[in-house]
Amino acid sequence: MDGSQGNDGVDKEELDEKYPHRPHNHSNTLPFHDLFLTLFNPLNDNKKKPTGPIMARRKQGPHGSANRSPHEIRRNIIERFISRWRKEVGNDIYPAFRLIVPEKDRDRPMYGLKEKAIGKLLVKTMKIDKNSEDGFNLLNWKLPSQSTASRMAGDFAGRCFEIISKRPMRTSVGELTVGEVNEMLDKLAAAQREEHQLPIFETFYEQMNPEELLWLIRIILRQMKVGATEKTFFDVWHPDAEALFNVSSSLRRVCWELYDPSVRLESDDTGITLMQCFQPQLAQFQMHSFERMVEKMRPAEEDDTFWVEEKMDGERMQLHMMEDSSILGGKRFGFWSRKAKDYTYLYGNGFQDENGALTRHIKDAFNPAVHNIILDGEMITWDPEQDAMVPFGTLKTAAISEQRNPFSTGQRPLFRVFDCLYLNGEPITSYTLRDRRRALEASVHSVPRRLEILEFTEAHDFAEIEPLLRKVVAEASEGLILKNPRSMYRLNERNDDWLKVKPEYMTEFGESLDCIVIGGYYGSGKRGGRLSSFLCGLKVDQRQIDKGANPMKCYSFFKVGGGFTAMDYANVRHHTDGKWKDWDSKRPPTEFIELAGGHLQHERPDVWIRPDDSVVVSVKAASVTPTDSFRMGLTLRFPRFKKLRTDRDWTTALSIQGFLDLKANVEKEQKEKEFTVDDGRKRARTTRKKELRVAGGDQIFTTPYAGPETRLFEGLKFFIITDAAKPEKKSKAELEQLVKTNGGQIFQTHTAFKDTICIAERRTVKVASLQKAGDQDIIRPSWIFDCIKQNQADGERPRFVLPVEPSHIFSATEAFQEHAASNVDEYGDSYARDVSVEELREIFGKMPAISPSPSDVSKLKEQLRQQSTELRESRGWMFTDLVIYLDKSGLSQTDHSYSQEKELSLASDRKLQLASNYIRFGDGKITDDLQDIPLTHVIVGDDRSRLKQIRQEIKDKSALPRIVTVDWVETSWQEETLLDEERFAPV
């Protein structure tokens, strides 16, 4: 029989030992094409049928109406397929389910292939020119096809089907079985390099027709869209299938332990289990009003309490702990994300795991009476220096940093626990939240800034929500979660017992911003082939115009794609049709649009439009946040389209200064502002499946994006022997991908070519063998990172590979070491690359300290000034010999109380602080004593309230200092010469 077990690299004996009662098929698996001919296509046809009684349906058969609901038809299609499988193949349906619901298959690693990579493989497989129409359409699948007949824009698999259909190797369906396809997909998942992936794709291409390949690509991308969810498949397979998947996240267990529908799970088997990842309970989206949300908490007359927790901006995580004498410390840990990704390697498997970013810090977190436990919580990033939470997206970096240096003061992972689901051998999900909380507090002790129990507030009335929401938004938090303390924990459910209250759903940063559309992005999926999101900008002000900017020029500010109805898109098309131009990255329209990143052109659109041809859109958002992706340096968080402003054009759209003024006013009034749920425009909620963003990754099989393609290493051969730990952690496969992306070739031996570059930073058996031979130079991976970093920093300059430095060498011959030493100075400073701040500190640390006397310094400066008029007039000498007092208010910058007088004083202080920087740079001396003997100048800001007092204090000095405004410093700096003080005397 073929590979019907789909054992993805696991030995048959090992599977038999782990699953002794698993079913075995009596025949080969069904042909692969039967999946779409008898299952996928009928399900999709059913999805397209009208669902309501719009027309009278024709009666079928002798017994009256044969009309059935789409749900009934769906179940019937699946039942027929499963019944046929049992009859013709056997009771092991796991091989088929791996292809039917591939997104739920946790046993097969990720392929590391996205649309663009598959497109490149298909271009090479079919031997078509990448610059031809079909090659372009494959590699630019989101854009409308160059052929007007195409309707597949945004549907990558559909676009592939179109192009493969023009040059198929087979027109009829192939003979590959489900089992054989699984075996080939296992090989594809293990193939991390293009040269290994390409032969597998060529085999698929030779043995499948275009429709088979279409479904194969959807399986690889795990984007099936077959008109039925995994819940429907599970329900038809076995009544307990969904329950088992919820507690185990294992498709294999669902198929092998529940192959007999007549045998039900025992109650013990439907509960969560130690070291088995479960599907957690999720919070429901918020309703229209706080009052309605509290009603959903089902308050009783004798108990109307609901709980309010802060919503964390992190990664949902479950912690499992059990006794295990084989682990140092006696306890084994497991960590899984909401998507069932195993992060134990990142956070630690025991108290003494040296690679654990968390477990070695939480030895005191558990009551000694706790033998095993499962906790539910959120893994966030904490910055000890700011003592504040850092936005999600930095978690993996923080965890890796903590792995390397557990005693650093840098960012670290912090586990905030809010639920206990298993304790000392007993699942407690059926207990109320109130009881589970008691168990949590008795079992776990907070370890500050490592593992903490999340606090909650007891509330009884919906009016208590608003001030709590106001508080967390002021602290830049995610929002709130309302919880029913009388509720049990429901696996893999999103119900009204937990409700989200997030600021991005609220009228927050003003009601709306009216911004000009300057670019567009083509969508995918149902939005394919048309513009689905837009780049909006802020027009320049008179200041930029005076410097030569086109009055129509706009700075990129944000992208918006949410909130549009089909009518809204049609309206935008109506006003802009025929006015869009393709974005040419070699000749960008800088006269009209300025993007971030200079030549890198961050967030460049697919098409652009002149502001005088464009439309103004009214947009609302949750908040404003700093960014490097847009030219403004700021962007809107969660922007949503409100309406098209047909009464406005580019001349009346929001300008740069107009926005900055608005931002300042909003921040000033934020404390007085009342939160209100936005009821201005309601539409049906659509849930969009988000791309998985993980805090750690599968380091064996994942081939991540390795940066922009370059030819930096073109002509060089590499043998990557080990992974990299510094300056960033990358697996061997990731390093190989990095080299390939930048033009290098990868070999698995140092003897393939004479000049093969060996890369390693650990002494493995292979490395030790090369070292013993004594004739092979071994370079650290840091050299690769430095080359790429310098290449990016050089921008448009000619590309070159950095010479090797002593810090790059892991092991080398004496001659090579001498050569490397010639590439740095005596302190290790590189002649060829830009060193980092940390490296510069190390270099300075190696230099002998030189401490000349003040008189020596003074003498040297005088000699230099006498010898060079140009030097004397430079900014670095501008304030030499001046002793200056800056009249600052002394007010605290952290005091947020507001008054007009205080605002003036703080603004004045900010200008004086800038002047202080100029003075120090110009060799001036700052004093805080008005009675300082050599005092030459007193600088006052816009706040002149202390001017009279200052004059009184200095009136008795033998030599009076000049009193000037801060403009004297700023204007002198701009003119690069010291100006006459009389013109800057304060009034």
What range does the domain containing 831 cover?
A: 717-846
Asked if residue 777 and residue 864 are part of one domain, the reply reads no
Asked if residue 603 and residue 576 are part of one domain, the reply reads yes
Q: Tell me whether strands 513-522 and 616-620 are parallel, antiparallel or unpaired.
A: antiparallel
Cα 486 to Cα 284: distance, rounded to the nearest angstrom: 17
Cα 931 to Cα 714: distance, rounded to the nearest angstrom: 67
Phi, psi of 397 (to 5 degrees): -60, -45
Cα 843 to Cα 829: distance, rounded to the nearest angstrom: 7
SS3 527: helix
pLDDT band at 519 (very low <50, low <70, confident <90, very high): very high
Asked if residue 447 and residue 298 are part of one domain, the reply reads yes
* Alpha carbons within 13 A on the beta-carbon side of 571: 13
The percentage of residues in the chain with a pLDDT greater than 70, rounded to a whole number, is 83
pLDDT of residue 122: 96
SS3 555: strand
Asked if residue 908 and residue 800 are part of one domain, the reply reads no
CA separation, residue 436 to residues 161, 318, 366, 423, 499 (Å): 53, 15, 16, 10, 18
CA separation, residue 578 to residues 153, 552, 574 (Å): 19, 19, 9
Whether 58 shows a pLDDT value over 60: the answer reads no
pLDDT band at 933 (very low <50, low <70, confident <90, very high): confident
The residue type of 685 is R
How far apart are the two ends of the chain, measured CA to CA in Å? Answer: 98
Cα 883 to Cα 957: distance, rounded to the nearest angstrom: 15
Asked if residue 490 and residue 447 are part of one domain, the reply reads yes
Cα 693 to Cα 47: distance, rounded to the nearest angstrom: 30
pLDDT band at 237 (very low <50, low <70, confident <90, very high): very high
Whether 295 shows a pLDDT value over 50: the answer reads yes
Of 47, 116, 311, 643, catalytic: 311
> What is the DSSP secondary-structure string of 381-401?
EEETTTTEEE-TT-HHHHHHH
Cα 476 to Cα 405: distance, rounded to the nearest angstrom: 28
Q: Are 99 and 176 in contact (CB under 8 A)?
A: no
Average pLDDT, the chain: 83
SS3 419: strand
Contacts of 751 (CB under 8 A, 6+ apart): none
pLDDT of residue 838: 86
Domain final position from 470, 503, 536: 503
pTM above threshold 0.85: no
- Give me the mean pLDDT over the 708-737 stretch: 88
Active site residue 49: no
Task: Looking at mean pLDDT, say which of 133-137, 179-183, 574-578 comes out highest.
Answer: 179-183
Helical spans, DSSP H, in 447-541: 465-474
* Alpha carbons within 13 A on the beta-carbon side of 255: 30
- Give me the mean pLDDT over the 457-469 stretch: 89
- Give me the mean pLDDT over the 814-836 stretch: 91
The verdict on residue 422 lying in a domain is yes
- Give me the mean pLDDT over the 42-48 stretch: 81
Question: Which of the pair, 492 or 31, is modelled with greater confidence?
Answer: 31
Whether 5 shows a pLDDT value over 60: the answer reads no
Q: Are 812 and 777 in contact (CB under 8 A)?
A: yes
- Extract the tokens encoding 841: 């500190």
The verdict on residue 343 lying in a domain is yes
CATH number at residue 201: 1.10.3260.10
Whether 706 shows a pLDDT value over 50: the answer reads no
- Give me the mean pLDDT over the 203-232 stretch: 92
pLDDT band at 661 (very low <50, low <70, confident <90, very high): confident
Cα 801 to Cα 791: distance, rounded to the nearest angstrom: 8
Helical spans, DSSP H, in 376-494: 395-404, 433-443, 465-474
Whether 9 shows a pLDDT value over 60: the answer reads no
Asked if residue 494 and residue 455 are part of one domain, the reply reads yes
Residue with tokens 């600088």: 939
pLDDT band at 502 (very low <50, low <70, confident <90, very high): low
pLDDT of residue 875: 82
Asked if residue 18 and residue 101 are part of one domain, the reply reads yes
pLDDT of residue 893: 45
Cis peptide before 727 (omega within 30 of 0): yes
Domain final position from 799, 820, 846: 846
Q: Are 260 and 91 in contact (CB under 8 A)?
A: yes
Number of C-beta neighbours around residue 161 at 10 A:
18
pLDDT band at 507 (very low <50, low <70, confident <90, very high): very low
Cα 970 to Cα 974: distance, rounded to the nearest angstrom: 6
Residue with tokens 């493995």: 764
Q: Tell me whether strands 282-284 and 451-453 are parallel, antiparallel or unpaired.
A: unpaired
- Largest Cα span, the chain: 120
Whether 508 shows a pLDDT value over 70: the answer reads no
Asked if residue 520 and residue 595 are part of one domain, the reply reads yes
Whether 790 shows a pLDDT value over 80: the answer reads yes
pLDDT of residue 154: 61
The answer to which of 80-84, 256-260, 942-946 has the lowest mean pLDDT is: 942-946
Cα 380 to Cα 399: distance, rounded to the nearest angstrom: 10
The verdict on residue 696 lying in a domain is no
- Give me the mean pLDDT over the 235-257 stretch: 91
Q: Tell me whether strands 581-582 and 607-608 are parallel, antiparallel or unpaired.
A: antiparallel
Number of C-beta neighbours around residue 106 at 10 A:
17
pLDDT band at 436 (very low <50, low <70, confident <90, very high): very high
The verdict on residue 3 lying in a domain is no
pLDDT of residue 542: 86
Number of C-beta neighbours around residue 469 at 10 A:
20
Asked if residue 169 and residue 37 are part of one domain, the reply reads no
Asked if residue 427 and residue 313 are part of one domain, the reply reads yes
Cα 749 to Cα 727: distance, rounded to the nearest angstrom: 25
Q: Are 100 and 39 in contact (CB under 8 A)?
A: yes
Whether 446 shows a pLDDT value over 90: the answer reads yes
The verdict on residue 902 lying in a domain is yes
CATH number at residue 535: 2.40.50.140
The verdict on residue 361 lying in a domain is yes
SS3 888: coil
In total, how many domains does the chain have?
6
The verdict on residue 480 lying in a domain is yes
Q: Tell me whether strands 388-390 and 373-383 are parallel, antiparallel or unpaired.
A: antiparallel
Asked if residue 492 and residue 399 are part of one domain, the reply reads yes
Asked if residue 928 and residue 832 are part of one domain, the reply reads no
The percentage of residues in the chain with a pLDDT greater than 90, rounded to a whole number, is 45
Domain final position from 781, 812, 846: 846
CATH number at residue 797: 3.40.50.10190
Give pLDDT tens digits for 66-111.
Answer: 567 888 899 999 999 999 999 999 999 999 999 999 999 988 888 9
Whether 677 shows a pLDDT value over 80: the answer reads no
The verdict on residue 749 lying in a domain is yes
- Extract the tokens encoding 687: 């849930």
